[in-house]
Amino acid sequence: MTASTDKAARTKGSAVHPSIARGIARLGQDISRARRARRISTTDMAARMGVGRSTLHRLEQGDPGVSLNTLAMALSVLGLFDRLAELVDPASDELGLMLAEKTLPRNISRRRRSPSEKSQGPAAQSADDAPEGW
C-alpha cells in the first residue's frame, strides 16, 4: 500500500472499511453539491460552520477523520440538520420495530400472589398492583 492509499484507509489509527469509506465519500460529494446548489462559497460556508476552509475541503472530500460536529454544522448551514436528527429515529427503524414486536409477550396474566398475600386478603394489595390513578 502506498502512503496516500494507507492514509485514505485509516483514521486516527483505525482502519476504515471500504464500504464505509465509499459512503463517507458520497456524503462529502453530496454536501459539496448541496453547497454549490445554494451558491455558497467555500469561504462563506466554512465561516458559517466555524471551521477553516481546509476542514470543509476534507469534509467534502470524504475524509473519515472529520468530526461529527463538523458534519452537523455543515448540515445546519445547508438547512438539512433535521435529517441528521432523524437518521436513527426509532419510529422509522423498521428492523428495530419488528424485533421489539417479537419480544412482546403473547399473553398477559395477572401476577400470582404469594400465600402470605392471599391470607391477608384484598386489603394487602400494594399500591403497585392498583390500577393507575387509584
Rounded CA separation 31/96 (Å): 28
Looking only at the bridges linking them, the beta strands covering 14-15 and 10-11 are antiparallel
pLDDT of residue 1: 42
Question: Would you write out the chain's pLDDT as a tens digit for each of its 134 residues?
Answer: 444 444 445 566 678 899 999 999 999 999 999 999 999 999 999 999 999 999 999 999 999 999 999 999 999 999 999 998 888 888 888 888 888 888 888 888 888 777 776 666 555 555 556 566 65
Closest alpha carbon to 16 in 65, 88, 70, 71: 65
pLDDT of residue 130: 57
User: Is 0.75 surpassed by the pTM of this model?
Assistant: no
pLDDT of residue 42: 97
pLDDT of residue 3: 44
Q: Give start and end residues of each alpha helix (H) in the chain.
A: 3-8, 18-37, 42-49, 53-60, 68-77, 81-85, 94-103, 115-120
Task: For residue 64, report the phi and psi dihedrals to the nearest 5 degrees.
Answer: -70, -10
Query: Which domains, from first to last, does the chain contain?
Result: 3-82 (1.10.260.40)
pLDDT of residue 96: 87
Rounded CA separation 87/121 (Å): 52
